[in-house]
Amino acid sequence: MKRILLFLLLISQLAVADDGYRLWLKYDLIKDMPKREAYARSAQFIAVTGTSPMLKSAADELQMGLQGLLGKSVPIIANATSRTGGIVLSVANGPAAGSQILMADGYRLTSRRAGNLTISGKTNAGVLYGVFALLRQVQTGQSIDNLAVTSNPKIQYRLLNHWDNTNGTIERGYAGESLWKWYELPETVDPRYRDYARANASLGINGTVVNNVNASARFLTDEYIQKVAALANVFRAYGIRIYLSVYFPAPKTLGSLTPNGLKTADPLDPAVRKWWAEKTKDIYKAIPDFGGFLVKANSEGEPGPQDYGRTHADGANMLAEALKPYDGIVLWRAFVYKSDPKSDRFKAAYEEFTPLDGTFDKKVIIQVKNGPIDFQPREPYSPLFGNMPKTPLAMEFQITQEYLGFATHWVYEAPLFKECLDTDTHVKDKGTGSTVANVIDGSLHQYAMTAIAGVANTGSDRNWTGNPMAQANWYAYGRLAWDHTLTSEGIAREWVNMTLTSEPKAVKTITDLMLRSRNIYVSYNTPLGLSRPWAGVHFAPEPWQEKSPRPDWTAIYYHRADSIGLGFDRTATGSNALAQYRPEVQKIWQNPDTCPLPYLLWFHHVPWTKKLATGRTLWDELCTHFYTGADSVGWMQQQWAQVKPAIDPQIFADVTGRLATQHNEAIWWRDSWVLYLQTYSKQPIPAPFQKPDRTLEDVKRLSEIYKLR
Amino acid sequence: MKRILLFLLLISQLAVADDGYRLWLKYDLIKDMPKREAYARSAQFIAVTGTSPMLKSAADELQMGLQGLLGKSVPIIANATSRTGGIVLSVANGPAAGSQILMADGYRLTSRRAGNLTISGKTNAGVLYGVFALLRQVQTGQSIDNLAVTSNPKIQYRLLNHWDNTNGTIERGYAGESLWKWYELPETVDPRYRDYARANASLGINGTVVNNVNASARFLTDEYIQKVAALANVFRAYGIRIYLSVYFPAPKTLGSLTPNGLKTADPLDPAVRKWWAEKTKDIYKAIPDFGGFLVKANSEGEPGPQDYGRTHADGANMLAEALKPYDGIVLWRAFVYKSDPKSDRFKAAYEEFTPLDGTFDKKVIIQVKNGPIDFQPREPYSPLFGNMPKTPLAMEFQITQEYLGFATHWVYEAPLFKECLDTDTHVKDKGTGSTVANVIDGSLHQYAMTAIAGVANTGSDRNWTGNPMAQANWYAYGRLAWDHTLTSEGIAREWVNMTLTSEPKAVKTITDLMLRSRNIYVSYNTPLGLSRPWAGVHFAPEPWQEKSPRPDWTAIYYHRADSIGLGFDRTATGSNALAQYRPEVQKIWQNPDTCPLPYLLWFHHVPWTKKLATGRTLWDELCTHFYTGADSVGWMQQQWAQVKPAIDPQIFADVTGRLATQHNEAIWWRDSWVLYLQTYSKQPIPAPFQKPDRTLEDVKRLSEIYKLR
């Protein structure tokens, strides 16, 4: 009977194609029977003391996971006093494990032969994270004997930011509509909300901003607070707190609909402050564990305190005051730039924010995009990092692939995140830990609060992220938010094992593809420090785009191609944005001969004929990148084809299709760039590359067609 | 072993909550074992001769369905010559079944004791439809012994119209994004496309227009033709042909992107005609069974032949000429109205199209919305029906609930469809079959072609239609497209049995709810012939809305409330739109005392104090409708609560939530209408109804909030 059951479970798993819904929490039956039985001997029961919703989530997840992985039902019991061979969940420091101290949210896994396996945390959340860590251990086929693991998160607030609108659209979303069905809430609660929370909790993500930073005032109406509260009620049992993006002039906007409503949103106006205090009180009444506010103000046309002659600090501190009675924070975004055709947008955030260092309330964190411009495929780190010692800075990464090929191009982002986190800002002497990661984890400036945010790539698509491979970016972001010292390769291997296959050769092939994917994308898209060759939709190549309401919304603003060369001079002879970095950084980047090639055109206008360190001229080097980049997608296709036997057929076909599209589009990018830049460089395509079989007019027409209704 | 297998199948079905994805094709195991075994005795094999993709679809579907329903694997064999007790699929007339002749697309089911059960059709499609009919027979628990059924579709072209855009949005879609992932096609083919085709084939739907009638010229580019062809390749095996909505000025729009492109889209210009001929050739090269073109022209700002001084017939006939070498048709929409503040929009389509009767090419069908305005909750039938004897008219119904409460309000639409289809146009003498259905099925005027279209309510939501109950509208549309003589009740009962439950009391309760739902909605929304109390989003009540670029886009244009009364005088003393109907119809509708109450305010401006046939004044009757309508949603909630034990918990919770929202919104509608109309009627809310506990300003503010970003 038992064998039949297992057989049938296997059959049913084989029969149902994998639609990707389960993400990395698949819990498929372990096929290696001795291994499965070894795990089962240590998992004869789950003992949990306490009845908090989060502990219940933890026990339920563990039970469900083991049911799938081991093919047996593991009972949950209240007390394990006299029993061994089971798993004990415990809110306590737990048995010592080396010298590491258990911190809030941290977990400890300990197991000894002939005893129980203990999952302990100082908090309920810690236990929950420990459960997912243990499941991950089993999912990746590692032993759970003699465990002595302590893991604490390096960052306190680990958030997702959803740029989701009330009408269900997602700004820069490529995987369907918003997960949040605002129209149906609060009465109808989609079961999917719980699975979203489970996935995040499995990574240690503990907060989510559910609405777009270009926010609607509707989120501050009683109606929407009830809707948001219904989501919070689901997320709470998974340790996830809800935050709201706020529309800064909301008091005025909503006031205009009431007879005696406010006519201003001036942050220093007492009536406005009172409005926010009362609104915040209403929110906490509905959502006692509300996380706080995220604000985009005086940025890209969004209103803000400067409309009233006030500063970012005036605005942020007003909201901090409203949050004072509660355990909530203000996340104020540094993504700002003025409409000044002469200025270098690169410099704007530093110029606006560093003078305010030390003037923010202690409940305020400034949220800074990883680079100075806007989530380009490769950017130098933002010079704000290291230059606001008195103000906690949060990192804002973009998981959704706005500039990385939407849901089609396969770009594993961990290397992008790590490249930024691991860069040395040289704020202190070498060797004392001045990386960007050390800034945001608080170790460099002893910040009292630390935070990291990822702009989510999730949507209503069945598999959450459109491209099945993009699930890895959500995963990698979450894992790095917990521990930025993890390696891109380690995270990739872990994810592949949990999500796609445990066949060693396939794991190696896919991990290798993932690790190379970002550089391949950069090669055909924006090599050598090029950036922003896009028009409005951020999709089709338009390096020629020169008309826009703002100069810094054109493509030519960024690459500055002319008859002499290419690139944006940001040295002292140009915009001098380089001066915002520490001298040690300037020293290397200011010289085109020592500036790393990936950043070259970010800082220098380089002659077409200049010989680079590779021995090629700039023009030849560019062509080499464009051509080998596009060719490498062909290589990706070949590599992917080889893993077919190890992958679910539906997932395999899906990725195969997307790679074919990516290949076509990579060639489109290549042809667009070389045909356009050739009008300036006046040089031939170097051998062995073939010149494109279409004209510049042809590729221009393709992007015009994309702009038709 | 067999019993264990069945037990496990049952367990696994219980364990997985129903997410609605399988629609009415659930094929869950029949729990009544004697019944199941009786079916199994007649289904020991499936014999199919021939290898066409459609026959393969038919055999596969039958095998899958029986696997689920009977819990056993039924083999597919090539030949049943010497065997009995199985099911034979056969493209042939099949054994005689009464006197009915088998027509193209029709099917015949015959079974005799100790023989085989034969599913025959004159075409492959007929066999496929017969398979679904047999499965339906089993799903609804009916005997399959001694079958002698012949069923032919009453209408030839049975289409869905998708108002889907290239960017994935759906105009008037309330169930997620477009099913068609244009960006991923043709390389990535979502497995869902096949399930879409299966669902449609199960109803006999044989064509689908995949893009919005407000069409993008992009669909006529080589790139999009390849994308559309990839969909067609999936649909073909289910007998579904693809049609495209075309942007009439496409030759000019696409021409403007090429150096020597066309500068005009004038349908009489030979170069334009050549462009369409070549484009059509390209389409047929990629999609040999392409269905044809659907056109919205010179309507609501869409360009058309009138821009060049040409007629609708000139435009339609040009496309017909392009389609001449192929088996494709032109569906030209009659939904047109000019921007003339003095005219009655009601009359526009009749005025523009009846003079053209007889001037259209024989490949052209004119597609007419059921009512003269625009898919209101209740409209009189369009006066075009019966008045274009020489031009085939197609019916256009709207399945998506644009004006029927989106995906929240529970409105079963079969009674709406039937009300229109069964109305007598009095074109011929009484008793000779002059209903609207007789017009569109061709029997009245002997049309050479017949067609019906439903604007789809499907989207990327897991359950296809958002509200699980809205699946019934897709189902009902399809069933009526095949056979308009089916009853609303019969279709409802069938759908409930296949989709929700076979528990007899629950079936009765739900069927009853469905049958009453549309009148309940009309009561609180637009009773007594009110219409269009909406602003742009067609969601929030705004009967007061009076500002718009066009007078016929305001709400006051339609209800004409003043101090004397309410309603639009369309008799001879008013716009005289009534004159477009036959004298027999006019006679009844022109007199406010004989005009049926549901149409009263469509045709008459009625004094507030006029006594109606119900014995109440207009004002009191209106209030009675608004109040009892809203109260009836409370009744729906109570009724629905009673079926809980018989319904899957996830579906039950979902519908329960939506009913709660519907109840709130019904009260919002009620309050908006009575508070607003009261400013004209100056009369109190009649006993026993309580006056609203909010003011007109309060409800106006609610809709203002909805309009905020």
Mark yes or no for CB contact A12/B12 under 8 Å.
Answer: yes
Contacts of B656 in chain A (CB under 8 A): 187
In percent, how much of chain B has pLDDT > 90?
A: 90
Q: Does pLDDT of B5 surpass 60?
A: no
Lowest mean pLDDT among A351-355, B55-59, B545-549: B545-549
Q: In whole angstroms, give the CA distance from residue B346 to residue B577.
A: 7
* Per-chain mean pLDDT for chain B: 95
Nearest to A660 among B187, B257, B701 (CB): B187
Nearest to B184 among A169, A189, A657 (CB): A657
End-to-end C-alpha distance for chain B, whole angstroms: 61
State mean pLDDT over B42-66: 96
Give the distance from residue A385's alpha carbon to the nearest chain B alpha carbon, in angstroms.
33
Give the distance from residue A301's alpha carbon to the nearest chain B alpha carbon, in angstroms.
14
Q: Is B374 an annotated catalytic residue?
A: yes
Contacts of A661 in chain B (CB under 8 A): 184, 187-188
CA-based nearest residue to B46, from B135, B122, B112:
B135
What values do phi and psi take at A151, rounded to 5? -135, 125
Nearest to B657 among A189, A221, A656 (CB): A189
pLDDT category at A183 given cuts 50, 70, 90 is very high
Q: Does pLDDT of B248 surpass 80?
A: yes
Nearest to B708 among A177, A218, A658 (CB): A218
Confidence at residue B282, expressed as pLDDT on a 0 to 100 scale: 98
Contacts of A705 in chain B (CB under 8 A): 218, 221, 223, 254, 257
Give the tokens for residue A190: 């989609």
Query: A705: nearest CA in chain B?
Result: B218
Q: Does pLDDT of A581 surpass 50?
A: yes
pLDDT category at B431 given cuts 50, 70, 90 is low
- Strand-pairing partners, residue B435, are B424
Q: In whole angstroms, give the CA distance from residue A566 to residue A569.
A: 9
* Homologous superfamily (CATH) for B157-499: Glycosidases (3.20.20.80)
Beta strands in B162-240 (DSSP E): 207-209
DSSP letter string, A586-610: HHHHSSTTTS-GGGHHHH--EETT-
Delimiting residues of CATH 3.30.379.10 domain(s) in chain A: 2-151
Q: Are B454 and B157 in contact (CB under 8 A)?
A: no
Q: What is the pLDDT of residues A126-141, one digit of tens each?
A: 999 999 999 999 999 9
Apex A38 CA angle, A37 and A41, nearest 5? 85
State mean pLDDT over B106-131: 94
Q: Which fold has domain B523-568+605-707?
A: Alpha-d-glucuronidase, C-terminal Domain (3.90.1330)
Mark yes or no for CB contact B257/A658 under 8 Å.
Answer: no
pLDDT category at B361 given cuts 50, 70, 90 is very high
Contacts of A408 in chain B (CB under 8 A): 183-184
Query: A706: nearest CA in chain B?
Result: B218
Mark yes or no for CB contact A408/B183 under 8 Å.
Answer: yes
Lowest mean pLDDT among A632-641, B93-102, B103-112: B93-102
Nearest to B184 among A4, A165, A658 (CB): A658
Provide the CA A417 distance to its chain's centre, in angstroms: 8
State mean pLDDT over B87-96: 83
Alpha helices in A365-445 (DSSP H): 414-421, 436-440
Residue identified by tokens 């604007």 is: B455
State mean pLDDT over A144-164: 97
State mean pLDDT over A374-384: 98
Q: What is the pLDDT of residues B634-680, one digit of tens each?
A: 999 999 999 999 999 999 999 999 999 999 999 999 999 999 999 99
Delimiting residues of CATH 3.90.1330.10 domain(s) in chain A: 523-568+605-707
Q: How many CB atoms lie within 10 A of CB A632?
A: 19
Q: Are B547 and B336 in contact (CB under 8 A)?
A: no
Q: What is the pLDDT of residues B673-703, one digit of tens each?
A: 999 999 999 999 999 999 999 999 999 999 9
Q: Does pLDDT of A2 surpass 80?
A: no
pLDDT category at A399 given cuts 50, 70, 90 is very high
- Rounded to 10°, the helix B222-235/B270-286 angle is 40
Contacts of B664 in chain A (CB under 8 A): 187
CA torsion sign for B546, B548, B551, B554 is: negative
Sorted by sequence, the CB contacts under 8 Å of residue A283 that are 6+ apart come out as A225, A244, A290
pLDDT category at B12 given cuts 50, 70, 90 is very low
Contacts of B230 in chain A (CB under 8 A): none
Nearest to B650 among A191, A214, A658 (CB): A191
Q: What is the pLDDT of residues A606-661, one digit of tens each?
A: 999 999 999 999 999 999 999 999 999 999 999 999 999 999 999 999 999 999 99
Q: What is the pLDDT of residues B172-195, one digit of tens each?
A: 999 999 999 999 999 999 999 999
Mark yes or no for CB contact B5/A1 under 8 Å.
Answer: no
The DSSP output letter for B148 is E
DSSP letter string, A114-160: TS-EEEEESSHHHHHHHHHHHHHHHHTT---TT-EEEE--S-SEEEE
Among A2, A7, A188, the strongest candidate for a mutation testing the B interface, having the largest count of B CBs within 10 A, is: A188
pLDDT category at A7 given cuts 50, 70, 90 is very low
Q: Does pLDDT of A8 surpass 50?
A: no
What values do phi and psi take at B683, rounded to 5? -120, 155
Q: Does pLDDT of B496 surpass 60?
A: yes
Query: A13: nearest CA in chain B?
Result: B12
Query: B253: nearest CA in chain A?
Result: A708
Q: Does pLDDT of B6 surpass 50?
A: no
Alpha helices in B572-617 (DSSP H): 583-589, 600-603
Q: What is the pLDDT of residues B587-632, one digit of tens each?
A: 999 999 999 999 999 999 999 999 999 999 999 999 999 999 999 9
Confidence at residue B7, expressed as pLDDT on a 0 to 100 scale: 45
Give the tokens for residue B606: 């009625």
Confidence at residue B14, expressed as pLDDT on a 0 to 100 scale: 44
Q: Does pLDDT of B502 surpass 70?
A: yes
Q: Does pLDDT of A96 surpass 70?
A: no
Class at the top of the CATH hierarchy for domain A2-151: alpha beta
Contacts of B460 in chain A (CB under 8 A): 176-177, 460-461
Q: Does pLDDT of A11 surpass 70?
A: no
Contacts of B406 in chain A (CB under 8 A): 183
* Per-chain mean pLDDT for chain A: 95
ipTM metric: 0.94
Mark yes or no for CB contact B657/A218 under 8 Å.
Answer: no
Strands A107-111 and A148-151 come out as antiparallel
Q: In whole angstroms, give the CA distance from residue A126 to residue A194.
A: 19
Mark yes or no for CB contact A184/B658 under 8 Å.
Answer: yes
Q: Are B637 and B663 in contact (CB under 8 A)?
A: yes
Nearest to A188 among B169, B188, B661 (CB): B661
Give the A:B interface size as CB pairs under 8 Å: 114
DSSP letter string, B18-30: --STTTT---PPP
**Cis link prior to B607 (omega < 30° from 0)?**
no
Mark yes or no for CB contact B184/A408 under 8 Å.
Answer: yes
Lowest mean pLDDT among A187-196, B298-307, B548-557, B596-605: B548-557
CA-based nearest residue to B280, from B333, B229, B323:
B323
Give the distance from residue A187's alpha carbon to the nearest chain B alpha carbon, in angstroms.
4
Mark yes or no for CB contact B708/A253 under 8 Å.
Answer: yes
Query: B166: nearest CA in chain A?
Result: A709
Q: Does pLDDT of A13 surpass 60?
A: no
Q: What is the pLDDT of residues B216-229, one digit of tens each?
A: 999 999 999 999 99
Lowest mean pLDDT among A1-5, B262-266, B414-418: A1-5
Stated length of chain B: 709
State mean pLDDT over B367-390: 98
pLDDT category at A539 given cuts 50, 70, 90 is confident
Contacts of B169 in chain A (CB under 8 A): 169
Catalytic residues of A, which ones?
300, 374, 402
CA-based nearest residue to B297, from B232, B376, B353:
B353
Give the distance from residue A26's alpha carbon to the nearest chain B alpha carbon, in angstroms.
15
